[in-house]
């Protein structure tokens, strides 16, 4: 077995804002494994300030992993490295399936089916957010997710009013993502103000590790709540289930690159299903390599409703791939070839 890795810095077409700050670039590392004529490829995708993986030490770890794979010795402990777990799991699936691009064979990978996705509106000045909304509506999206939490809240309400006055909730579904920007003290008041816009759900209204406060919000909020960042770094299965039992959110958001890959994400799904909690899958700013793997896995789950898998078009230098978005759906066009830079 031979193993190597290469770094790829993705560049955003325009600065992309959340309540955590503005992104202009994002780093990924591709792990490439070769064995007996088979090739496996996986992406280790890091978001600084959010991914638990240590950005400064990842290349040293990847060197250790490559050496262990080639010498067939024990791999290092990866519990605190979810993005690396994701990349390694994907690469090994490619070897297993003898196809680095088709990890979960299905109608989706055969270009016979598609995945409904939501459109994403990045945070910015109200006019810029409205421009993004109009573009998504023109492209046929009927589920739109808006990043909120960093502007003046009245301005954010005005943007939501702009969208909702044109389309009611039977025509356009609205999701919002606060990325933990609300405080425990003001969150309920803000959620009550959001109620009039018939919001489908809000992701992570308050910061992590406030279980009692989040549980109270989930009971009292007129807007259904989805946990997102709250799931990151929860590696103990007992703790995962205990947290969901206590908080009782209406939804959880699954981001395999932040949760430790597909196996770990399936464990979250098992806990959620046992408690009657719904879920959907989103990407975490991977290149098309990671997005391809996540999309294939998502289709294999028979996931319900629009998924958050529309991020591939955000970058100027993404990897050329057969992933295409048409009429608010992600699909694979096998007439388009891959081109790994």
Q: Where in the sequence numbering do the catalytic residues fall?
A: 147, 255
Q: Which residues have C-beta within 8 Å of that of residue 37, sequence separation ≥ 6?
A: none
Cα 29 to Cα 32: distance, rounded to the nearest angstrom: 10
Strands 21-35 and 38-45, sheet pairing: antiparallel
End-to-end CA distance of the chain: 23
Strands 173-177 and 143-147, sheet pairing: parallel
Look at the block and give the residue holding tokens 């992406």.
43
The answer to whether the CB of 2 falls within 8 A of the CB of 19 is no
Look at the block and give the residue holding tokens 């509506």.
137
Q: Which residues have C-beta within 8 Å of that of residue 259, sequence separation ≥ 6?
A: 82, 231, 232, 265, 268
Q: Which residues have C-beta within 8 Å of that of residue 274, sequence separation ≥ 6?
A: 241
Cα 135 to Cα 141: distance, rounded to the nearest angstrom: 9
What ranges in the chain are assigned the alpha helix state H?
Answer: 58-71, 82-97, 126-138, 153-164, 187-194, 211-220, 237-247, 256-259, 262-274, 288-300
């Amino acid at each position: 077995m031979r193993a190597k890795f290469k770094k790829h810095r993705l560049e955003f077409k325009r600065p992309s804002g959340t309540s955590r700050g503005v992104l202009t670039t994002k780093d990924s590392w591709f792990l490439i494994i070769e064995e007996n004529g088979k090739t496996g490829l996986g992406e280790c995708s890091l978001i600084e300030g959010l991914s638990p993986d240590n950005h400064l030490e990842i290349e040293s770890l990847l060197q250790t992993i490559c050496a262990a794979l080639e010498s067939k010795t024990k791999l290092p402990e990866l519990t605190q490295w979810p993005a690396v777990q994701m990349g390694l799991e994907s690469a090994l699936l490619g070897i297993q399936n003898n196809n680095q691009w088709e990890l979960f064979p299905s109608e989706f990978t055969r270009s016979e089916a598609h995945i409904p996705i939501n459109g994403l509106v990045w945070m910015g000045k109200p006019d810029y957010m409205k421009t993004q909304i109009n573009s998504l509506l023109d492209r046929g999206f009927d589920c739109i997710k808006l990043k909120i939490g960093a502007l003046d809240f009245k301005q954010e309400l005005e943007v939501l009013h702009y969208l909702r006055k044109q389309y009611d909730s039977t025509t356009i579904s609205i999701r919002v993502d606060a990325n933990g920007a609300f405080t425990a003290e003001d969150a309920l008041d803000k959620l009550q103000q959001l109620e009039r816009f018939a919001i489908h759900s809000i992701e992570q209204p308050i910061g992590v590790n406030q279980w009692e406060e989040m549980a109270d919000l989930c009971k009292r909020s007129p807007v259904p709540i989805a946990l997102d960042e709250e799931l990151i770094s929860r590696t103990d299965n007992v703790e995962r289930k205990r947290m969901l039992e206590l908080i009782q959110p209406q939804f959880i958001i699954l981001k395999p690159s932040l949760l430790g890959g597909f196996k770990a994400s399936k464990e979250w799904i098992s806990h959620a299903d046992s408690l009657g909690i719904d879920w959907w899958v989103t990407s975490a700013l991977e290149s098309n390599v990671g997005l391809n793997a996540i999309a294939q896995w998502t289709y294999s789950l028979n996931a319900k409703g629009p998924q958050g898998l529309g991020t591939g078009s955000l970058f100027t230098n993404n990897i050329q791939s057969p992933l295409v978005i048409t009429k608010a759906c992600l699909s694979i066009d096998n007439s388009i070839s891959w081109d790994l830079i």
